[in-house]
Amino acid sequence: MALGQVSVSDVDSGQGDFSSPERQFLFIGKAEANLDSVLYLDQSSDLDVLLGAPASALKTTLAAAKANASANWTAVVMPRTNEGEWQTAFDIAMAQNIVCEAVVVTDAIAAQSELDVMATAIAATENTFGRSLFFVVANEAPDAADKWDAFISAFEALQDGVASADIMLIPEVFAGWMGTVCGRLCNEAVTIADTPMRTQTGAIVGLSTLPSDVDGTVFNMAHAKALNDARGTVPQVYPDYDGIYCSDGMTLAPEASDYAVIENLRVVNKVKRQVRILAIKKVGNRELNSTPLSIAAHETYFMRPVIDMSKSITSNGIYKPGEVKPPVDGDITISWASRTKVQIALLVRPYNCPKAIQAYIALNLTSEV
């Protein structure tokens, strides 16, 4: 008779939580204190203490982001000695595994070649580390001698011909506008699937009057449209409605791209991050195989991020949709290219979003007794 044996093993089925870089941005720019270090900020942080008392684009951007974000806002900041040192700081951040959804370069750019360098850095980061992120950068804010037409022409020339869905180029209509946009993107009152255009979360904080140029011309909707047509995210107003709001969050994606607006890029990046982790857990695991039973089980396994993101709630009778629509049959396919190579295709379905609303009003003149 054989000897009795008992063996107990634990199994990791990959059902735990994912790390969440969403809404945490990395800000890089010239400052006067804590140079070449890594700082972690929240709403209680004193920018003068951390970054020095003198004014800087980094401080201005962070102050605007803090004001327009929510109570739980956090950010990573890398102050640099000189302007234009973002790439060194970015390389250090990636090597140190600093978690972020986006990188905000607060020193203004003036040459299209700098956008090309950023696009290359984004591609290298995904190829090297498997990280999906995007950049936010701005041109120089207009000075006292600038006219709006010159500012618009310079912005149009800066972005013309650039094709990178992972870059938001912000026309810095006033100092701090880029930070304002970043704050709205990080606001927890809405999801990453929401456009910064959303008015329900209120007007932008910190500005009640649009700026004027050297001729005293106030920035108006004609200027906003010209910059928006050039793929810029701009401040906008609604006549007879108080407050200044934000346009759609535009990227430098080419014409007809699915990722021309930032909310589409953000939800897909989130799915990519989580599916990558799930895929790593299955390397060398024969439970994932070409049998119908295994394929059916792993369709649910790999669709988990989309299922989680699709969960909606109803609050006080108001339906709040998830970040994406619930998946349906056919939204994921698993196929085997060879005995050792498997291919997984997922479909992510965003909700419609009203960005142009047209109402028709009619009379009913029929006689009623």
Q: How confident is the model at residue 369 (pLDDT cuts 50, 70, 90)?
A: low
- Check residue 368 and give its pLDDT: 74
Q: Are 209 and 174 in contact (CB under 8 A)?
A: no
pLDDT per residue as tens digits for the range 345-359: 999 999 999 999 999
| Helix axes of 148-159 and 221-229: crossing angle, nearest 10 degrees | 10
- Check residue 17 and give its pLDDT: 82
Q: How confident is the model at residue 143 (pLDDT cuts 50, 70, 90)?
A: confident
- Check residue 208 and give its pLDDT: 93
pLDDT per residue as tens digits for the range 216-237: 999 999 999 999 999 999 999 9
- Check residue 314 and give its pLDDT: 85
pLDDT per residue as tens digits for the range 250-269: 999 999 999 999 999 999 99
* DSSP notation for 223-270: HHHHHHHTT---EEEETTEEEEEE---B-BPPTT-TTSBHHHHHHHHH
Q: How confident is the model at residue 1 (pLDDT cuts 50, 70, 90)?
A: low
Domain ranges of the chain: 25-265, 284-369
> Residue range 126-146: average pLDDT?
94
Higher pLDDT, 13 or 73: 73
3-state secondary structure of 114: helix
Answer yes or no: is pLDDT of 362 > 80: yes
> Residue range 104-118: average pLDDT?
96
Instruction: Note the pTM of the prediction, 2 decimals.
Output: 0.94
